[in-house]
């Protein structure tokens, strides 16, 4: 006998994005993500951080159904604005991209086609707005470009992508995403290709977007400074699993998982002046494992059970804010 779902808490807003026990593999053989649980609430900025190969971008692309055909996504829940993405047909996924969620990719130089002007490409994004005239659409585009701080928006409409710098082009990419009026903005390493000055401007823009448009943001990064600057919560990912999750200030002040501690120890800004031997984590990120802990091969606190028993997801820390770690040594 099965029972219905528990009654919803009417005082708690529904998450914009909810992942429950999501696993992703390629060809049904090669695992990339294993058992991920994650929520993004309305108006919240959630960061996902980890080394290259940890599964961050794969997870981000799965949110919008942008994985290649060889990828297989399974789990209990992959919900975007209340719509089930796991069993949705291709037509439904296309309808959700834009109004429900939009994405900013890490390389602005490859976001747009070099064959057409930016104005034409931005105009094409508004194909759903059939009740608007071309003049009205142009005004929408100019306002979006103005809102992201792009100088002389009207002139940019006649420009080709290669006429703009990386930072300016990333602003156009953000404006393009906001034209869809999405509930969730997925930013996959949005500052990787930018210099330090442009990075600071884009991060400031992200905070402004959340404040003025109320957009929730899922921020994918390997840069601790980016996460600390803009995010409310952070999920630390290693070998396809989230190993620690909680408020940014809590985790930065009191990391509990050995991998999180190792990651922070390798941050250049946190290394003490005069250090002779630089800290290292130990090896490349291994392929995700379904049993045991993926960090067992590099962990200085490894136990025998770490190799054969999957660590539990337990609440840690003394504060009221939710803080969880996936480690056999983690204790409340």
Domain edge (last residue) among 165, 181, 197:
181
Q: What CA–CA distances, in Å, run from 174 to 145, 216, 221? A: 9, 14, 17
166 burial class (0-12, 13-18, 19+ CB within 10 angstroms)?
middle
> Quick one: pLDDT band at residue 65, thresholds 50, 70, 90?
confident
Give the model confidence (pLDDT) of 73-84 as tens digits.
999 999 988 888
Both 56 and 132 in one domain: the answer is no
Q: What CA–CA distances, in Å, run from 278 to 51, 252, 273, 275, 295? A: 17, 20, 11, 7, 20
- Look at residue 41 in the predicted model and tell me its pLDDT: 94
Domain edge (last residue) among 247, 272, 297:
272
160: tokens are 């080709």
CA–CA separation, 102 vs 186, rounded Å? 6
CA–CA separation, 261 vs 301, rounded Å? 12
- Look at residue 129 in the predicted model and tell me its pLDDT: 84
Both 62 and 191 in one domain: the answer is yes
- Look at residue 33 in the predicted model and tell me its pLDDT: 95
133 burial class (0-12, 13-18, 19+ CB within 10 angstroms)?
exposed
| Residue found by looking up tokens 């990120």 in the block | 285
CA–CA separation, 316 vs 332, rounded Å? 4
Both 128 and 139 in one domain: the answer is yes
Position 118 in a domain: yes
- Look at residue 2 in the predicted model and tell me its pLDDT: 41
Position 303 in a domain: no
* DSSP structure class, residue 309: S
CATH number at residue 46: 3.40.50.300
- Look at residue 281 in the predicted model and tell me its pLDDT: 86
What percent of the chain is modeled with pLDDT above 70?
A: 96
- Look at residue 277 in the predicted model and tell me its pLDDT: 84
pTM reported for the whole predicted model: 0.88
- Look at residue 58 in the predicted model and tell me its pLDDT: 93
What percent of the chain is modeled with pLDDT above 90?
A: 52
CB 256 within 8 A of CB 246: no
CB 182 within 8 A of CB 16: no
> Quick one: pLDDT band at residue 184, thresholds 50, 70, 90?
very high
Structure-model confidence comparison of residues 100 and 37, the more confident one = 37
- Look at residue 89 in the predicted model and tell me its pLDDT: 76
CB 173 within 8 A of CB 111: yes
Both 244 and 118 in one domain: the answer is no
Both 153 and 194 in one domain: the answer is no
Position 130 in a domain: yes
Position 133 in a domain: yes
- Look at residue 323 in the predicted model and tell me its pLDDT: 92
> Quick one: pLDDT band at residue 11, thresholds 50, 70, 90?
low
Give the model confidence (pLDDT) of 16-36 as tens digits.
999 999 999 998 788 999 999
CA–CA separation, 97 vs 99, rounded Å? 6
Both 90 and 20 in one domain: the answer is yes
φ, ψ at 27 (rounded to 5°): 65, 15
Contacts of 72 (CB under 8 A, 6+ apart): 24, 25, 26, 27, 28
User: For 139-147, what is the mean pLDDT?
Assistant: 92
Both 150 and 189 in one domain: the answer is no
Position 332 in a domain: no
Asked if residue 7 has pLDDT above 60, the reply is no
222 burial class (0-12, 13-18, 19+ CB within 10 angstroms)?
middle
Name the residue range of residue 54's domain. 13-100+183-272
Asked if residue 86 has pLDDT above 90, the reply is no
Quote the number of domains for the chain: 2
CA–CA separation, 77 vs 84, rounded Å? 7
Position 38 in a domain: yes
Asked if residue 325 has pLDDT above 90, the reply is yes
User: For 140-161, what is the mean pLDDT?
Assistant: 92
Position 30 in a domain: yes
> Quick one: pLDDT band at residue 3, thresholds 50, 70, 90?
very low
| Residue found by looking up tokens 């959630």 in the block | 46
Position 287 in a domain: no
Both 34 and 173 in one domain: the answer is no
Structure-model confidence comparison of residues 45 and 213, the more confident one = 45
Domain edge (last residue) among 121, 149, 181:
181
CB 109 within 8 A of CB 127: no
Structure-model confidence comparison of residues 270 and 189, the more confident one = 189
Both 187 and 260 in one domain: the answer is yes
Both 118 and 134 in one domain: the answer is yes
Both 171 and 32 in one domain: the answer is no
């Amino acid at each position: 006998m099965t029972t219905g779902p528990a009654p919803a808490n009417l005082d708690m807003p529904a998450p914009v994005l909810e992942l429950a026990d999501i696993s992703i593999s390629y060809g049904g053989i090669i695992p990339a993500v294993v058992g991920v649980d994650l929520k993004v609430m309305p108006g919240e900025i959630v960061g996902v951080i980890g080394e290259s190969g940890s599964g961050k971008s794969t997870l981000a692309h799965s949110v919008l159904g942008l994985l290649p055909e060889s990828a297989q996504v399974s789990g209990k829940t992959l919900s975007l604005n209340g719509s089930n993405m796991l069993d949705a047909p291709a037509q439904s996924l296309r309808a959700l991209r834009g109004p429900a969620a939009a994405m900013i990719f890490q390389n602005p130089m490859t976001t747009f086609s070099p064959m057409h002007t930016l104005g034409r490409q931005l105009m094409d994004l508004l194909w759903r707005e059939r009740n608007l005239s071309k003049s009205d659409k142009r005004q929408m585009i100019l306002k979006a470009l103005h809102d992201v701080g792009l100088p002389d928006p009207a002139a940019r409409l006649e420009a080709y992508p290669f006429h703009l710098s990386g930072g300016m082009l990333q602003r156009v990419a953000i404006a393009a995403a906001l034209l869809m009026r999405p509930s969730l903005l997925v930013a996959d390493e949005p500052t990787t290709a930018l210099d330090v000055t442009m990075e600071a401007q884009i991060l400031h823009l992200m905070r402004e977007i959340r404040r003025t448009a109320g957009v929730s943001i899922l921020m994918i990064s390997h840069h601790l400074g980016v996460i600390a600057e803009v995010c409310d919560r952070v999920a630390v990912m290693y070998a396809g699993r989230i190993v620690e999750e909680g408020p940014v200030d809590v985790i930065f002040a009191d990391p509990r998982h050995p991998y999180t501690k190792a990651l922070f120890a390798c941050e250049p800004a946190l290394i003490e002046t005069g250090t002779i031997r630089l800290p290292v984590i130990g090896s490349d990120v291994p392929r995700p494992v379904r049993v045991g802990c993926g960090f067992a091969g590099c962990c200085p606190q490894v136990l025998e059970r770490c190799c054969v028993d999957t660590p539990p997801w337990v609440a840690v820390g003394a504060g009221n804010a939710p803080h969880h770690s996936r480690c056999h040594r983690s204790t409340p």
